[in-house]
Amino acid sequence: MSLRENLAANLRRLCKDHASVSAVCRELHINRTQFERYLQGQTVPNKATAKLICDYFRINEAELYQYPDAPEPAASGLPPISEALFKQMIRPPSPSIAGGTYFTYFSIPTRPDLLMRSVTFVRRDVELVTFRRVTGWSERRGATWARARGNHYGVAIARLNWIYFSGINRRQTGEPSLISVQWAPISEPVLTGKAMLLTETGPAFVPVIMRQDVANIPPRQAIKMAHVIRLDDPGVDPLVVSLARDGLG
């Protein structure tokens, strides 16, 4: 395969983990028509654009142009610390949470009348539980909590009756996030706890509520719902409103 074909195959694979090619182009501030030329193997980006793409997907330039089926480089000697930490994180027990779509609600400091609603896609693969959480995808520029927009990927682990969602933002900010929740002692299945996330003034710890979507909302529609909402909005889950007002998040 040529360099352009390698680039095209790698970009198509990387884009599969995102909402759409259009969303990637918006995040990168790259013209969609030009990006399509990369995807079709018609041309390659200049150095500046290649760096922008690599920073966004968190890869190096060699990975961007390598043969798509190239094996991962083998590490000699002791295993990398990242591998050791990952194996320690995902050891049993597995989190007691089903795969599916979950709406995740964050309290907003100084604004008790508002919640930030994110959408979390949970995937179970035997004992490994991974997730993707989209936050504020449809927020208008300059709107409340707009700087908290995120596209977090990570793993969920269980320790001492708590479920921890540990992730990294795939946006250029690259900040980590941590959510710790447990099943609330009520009849309805809902998770409550605390979250560490980025606000306009820096990292903050805020109450969080997670509720599984039982209406089978399509993923793209769920992502469009990931934005700031008002507690008095009649369309918001009444249980979430009640928990938020009672401070049980």
Q: Go through 198-221 and write b for each residue having 16 or more CB atoms within 10 A of its CB, e for each that does not.
A: bbeeeebebbbbbbbbeeeeeeee
Looking from the CA of 240 toward its CB, the CA atoms found within 13 Å total: 27
At residue 33, what is the residue type? T
Main-chain phi, psi angles of 161, to 5 degrees: 70, 10
What secondary structure does DSSP assign to 143-163, as a single string? STTGGG-EEEEEEEEEETTEE
Is the peptide bond between 68 and the residue preceding it cis, with omega within 30 degrees of 0? no
Q: Model's pTM, two decimal places?
A: 0.67
pLDDT, tens digit (0-9, with 9 covering 90-100), for 77-101: 556 666 777 777 777 778 889 999 9
The pLDDT value recorded for residue 79 is 61
Cα dihedral 69, 73, 79, 83 sign: negative
Structure token digits, residue 140:
């208008």
Bridge partners (DSSP) listed for residue 180? 164, 194
The string of pLDDT tens digits covering residues 197-249 is: 776 677 888 999 999 998 889 988 898 888 889 999 998 999 999 999 887 65
Distance CA(96)–CA(158), nearest Å, equals 8
